[in-house]
Structure 1
Amino acid sequence: MAPYESDDATAAARDEDLPTGRRKAARYVVPVAVVGVAAATIGLVPALADSGDPDLPKITAQQLIDKIAKSDVQQLSGTVKVSTDLGLPDLGGLESGLMSGAARGDGGGSSADPQSKLTELVSGTHTLRVAADGPDRQKLSLLESGSEYSLVHDGKDVWGYDSKSNEVYHSAGAESGGRHRTGQPPATPKNFADEALKAVDDTTSVTVDGTARVAGRDAYKLLIRPRQSGTTVGAISIAVDARTGLPLKFTLTPRSGGAAVLDAGFTQVSFAAPAASTFDFTPPKGAKVTEEKKGAEAPEHTREHATKGGEDLAGGLNGATVLGKGWTSVASFDTGGGAGLPSGGQGGALGGFLGSLGDQVSGKFGKGTVFSTRLVNALITDDGKVYAGAVTKDALVKAANAGK
């Protein structure tokens, strides 16, 4: 049961009709490399709203969440600005390389592979152009200095194209369509809002926080705040289009204060049908084309888990388990190697470098290193176990002690 509170001082309500909040092991999954921790936060992400607060009819938090749930925007085009400030150390580009390799599961591959390319969104500010025409046609373009990366979904085909390297990545088959069943391109405020709303349970306060203008449109603001201490999440604000119910802007701020950790939103949006040619793609002459290996397709049971979230999903993540509940839940899994960071003769320089980025801790679980960002923190124990979540260092140590 989740608490939904009105911004009216005399009204407070608990909504018993909403789905029970789910534990979100997926957003806490991190590779052992410390820089990979940030990749887990991509599912929670957004830009500055227009000035002015429109005068809109009163609405309760319950009604606004229902409006989001009933939203069925199938056609749109626009520009999305995404800014991420996790507070990662400057590793001179090493972090993006490691995260890309972790996303691919190897150290190489095509630069046009979307699983590696979109990890660039975990740091800095990026501009995206997005378009959608139903569940089978979407396009996302990541605009970079002097180059562009495009991800096009048309029917059973998914094409990734990196103009900088002139490389193409092609995936065909049923799974390709399954990745985009929502009818929306990835990395939009709706994706982020859907993930945040899954977190709502009795550990959460949800209120309507006034109105705003976003991308020239009137919007309501939904404010989500954890009630628990021990989490690094301060608040999540979602600007919801007053007419369509589509989330237009998503902002996540840390409990520690300061700038948003994740801030993404439309700066321009249209709900007219994009031109059919928007989704046409033919590999440019001379481009290197990499076909997705059939063996890379996830097993059916894994794809089913990916759509369910919560503990069902945790069961499909190499035995990951969830400790605790709500916003202070921690995902735990074993790397299987029986050892933590490389040290001594086993890559001492790398182990020493990574170790210098973290804090040494100890407890009933033994010893380990905590790697921290402004949102997601991870504890890697000396015997190869990983504990990760949007929680404080003390909460990680407590979870590790309890899980021992």
Structure 2
Amino acid sequence: MAPYEPEQDTSGTGELRAGRRKAARYVVPVAVAGVAAATIGLVPALATSGDPDLPDVTAQELIEKIAASDTQQLSGNVKISTDLGLPSFGGDMAGGFAPGGGGSDEGGDGKGSAADPQSKLMELASGTHTLRVAADGPDKQKLSVLDDAAEYSLIHNGDDVWAYDSKSNEAYHSKAEGKGSGERGSGEKGSGGKGSGDKALPEGVPSTPKELAEEALKAVDDTTSVKVDGTAQVAGRDAYRLVIKPKQTGSTVGQITVAVDSETGTPLKFTLSPAGGGSAVVDAGFTKVDFGKPAASTFDFTPPKGAKVTEADEAKAGTHRFKDGGKEFGGKEFNGKEFKGGQDLSGLNVIGKGWNSIAELELPGGQGLPTGGSGDVPADAQRLLDSLGDQVSGKFGSGTVFKTRLVNALITEDGKVYAGAVTKDALVKAANAAK
């Protein structure tokens, strides 16, 4: 098996950075879906067995192997678990606040769709889920979320992107960006990049080990240690274990472990462990994988008889309004200011570097969050804020730190936000230094 290897100092290794940059250009073609949140377990996503005896490799060589991987065809099952430490409120709170979610009403016109990927795939942000994936080049991908009695599928086939929710018998249809207009995506065809029109697919949290590994490799710099830490067997295939760790203190990330297929260089499993210990925050890996060409019929889709079909253009026509006790939000006054759902946050600034980077920005209107007593926040949302928040103070004044097991955010009383994968103390320090 590959031996334990001293930590590799990346500060003077241009080759490692070059390999990392090259790796970031390759995105596995099963990237048909993401989540509209910025973060995605409870138990290991899959069992690993044995320590296969493989030729020794260095971290640099393994990164280059990932970069050289050009997996265009595959099929299999992925088990993904996420544990951000968020409280459970029951019901469909998340869906109710997501665009197009079952609890939202787009201007009361009933144009919301239970099959809208932007809301449906929010479910991957918590709990454990089994996905069935398939890919045949950059223009054909399919991802299905499997439940006990239902299935949700997202299919990209050439010009068309279809989503179907069997539970509600609803379908959602859109055109791949650039199709029909002579435009193409920016990725190179055949490279597995996000080109060939698939930019129209939902983006956000990666949903496969390959995508997750690409994001981790982007963080490799002189603040990071990288080493090969033995071998494993994942989904019946021999793999190397690549371990990525922050060198800095103050990050909530403990380490990232990527199991890399020894033959193809394709990441088979991704695990993000928190610095505070306990279960993984993200654990995603193949339980079954086949690198052969999927059947062409895999990517065929016709809405079942009687299914409600929503076109993407129709869904975007309305303005989202969230309701609580008959009160509407969206295009209405929020904390004394008009707040629109799509309003941009302003004044973005990045403090620090590497794993300790903190985003500094301002809330719309330059005010802090409304308090529960003001009645401006839906009851479920206020309960979420109260359960996650810690009151803090310093040179910056006072504010509240909202916590997950990975990303924390400080919102000050004057509407400043400091957020990152860092500890509460690091956020307070950054806010004090900004004054």
The TM-score bracket by the shorter chain reads 0.7 to 0.9
What are the superposed Cα offsets for residues 89-109 of structure 1, whole Å, 9 maximum, x if unpaired?
Answer: 1221455225624999x7552
CA contact (8 A) 1:355 1:369 kept: no
Amino acid across the alignment from 1:380: I
Distance 1:9 1:338 in 2: 48
Counterpart residue type for residue 233 of structure 1: V
**Equivalent runs, 1:361-376 vs 2, <5 Å:** 361-376=392-407
Residues 1:322 and 2:353 are matched in the alignment: no
Give the whole-Å Cα distance in 2 for the aligned partners of 1:367 and 1:12: 40
Aligned ranges 1:345-360 → 2 under 5 Å: 345-347=374-376, 350=379, 353-357=383-387, 358-360=389-391
Q: Which among 397, 402, 414 is matched to residue 383 of structure 1?
A: 414
User: Which structure has the larger Rg over C-alpha atoms?
Assistant: 2
Which of residues 50, 61, 64 in structure 2 aligns to 1:63?
61
Corresponding position of 2:139:
136
- Paired AA for residue 369 in structure 2: L
- Give me the whole-angstrom Cα distance separating, in 2, the residues matched to 1:87 and 1:134: 37
TM-score (normalised: structure 1):
0.82
Cα 1:11–1:387 change in 2 (3 A) is: closer
Q: What is the identity, as a one-letter code, of the residue corresponding to 1:397?
A: V
Give the equivalent residue in structure 2 for 1:261.
281
Alignment size in residue pairs: 364
Equivalent positions of 1:1-400 (< 5 A) are: 7-9=4-6, 14-19=12-17, 39-42=37-40, 47-93=45-91, 95-97=93-95, 100-101=98-99, 108=106, 109-174=112-177, 178=185, 181-182=193-194, 187-293=207-313, 318-343=346-371, 344-347=373-376, 350=379, 353-357=383-387, 358-400=389-431
SS at match of 2:65: helix
Give the secondary-structure state (helix, strand or coil) at the position aligned to 1:41: coil
- One-letter amino acid of the counterpart of residue 69, structure 1: A
Gaps in structure 1 of 5+ consecutive residues: 1-5, 23-36, 298-315
Structure 2: runs of 5+ lacking an equivalent: 22-34, 107-111, 318-343
- The change in CA–CA distance for 1:113 and 1:212 in structure 2 (over 3 A counts) is same
Contact 2:154–2:161 under 8 Å retained in 1 = yes
Alpha-carbon distance change, 268 to 317 in structure 1, aligned in 2, over 3 angstroms: farther
Check the 8 A contact 1:160/1:169 in 2, yes or no: yes
**Residue 170 of structure 2 aligns to which amino acid in structure 1?**
E
Counterpart residue identity of residue 269, structure 1:
V
Give 1:194 deviation, angstroms. 0.2
**Secondary structure of the equivalent of 1:115?**
helix
- Bigger fraction of residues in helix: 1
Matched residue of 1:236: which SS? strand
8 Å CA contact 1:233–1:390 kept in 2: the answer is yes
* 8 Å CA contact retained: 1:136, 1:181: no
Measure the CA separation in 1 of the matches of 2:171 and 2:315. 19
Superimposed CA distance per residue, residues 28-54 of structure 1 (whole angstroms, 9 cap, x where no aligned partner): xxxxxxxxx993213xxx822421000
Return closer, same or farther for 1:263/1:136 CA change in 2, 3 Å cut-off. same
The Cα shift of 1:323 comes to: 1.2
Deviation at 1:268, TM superposition (A): 0.2
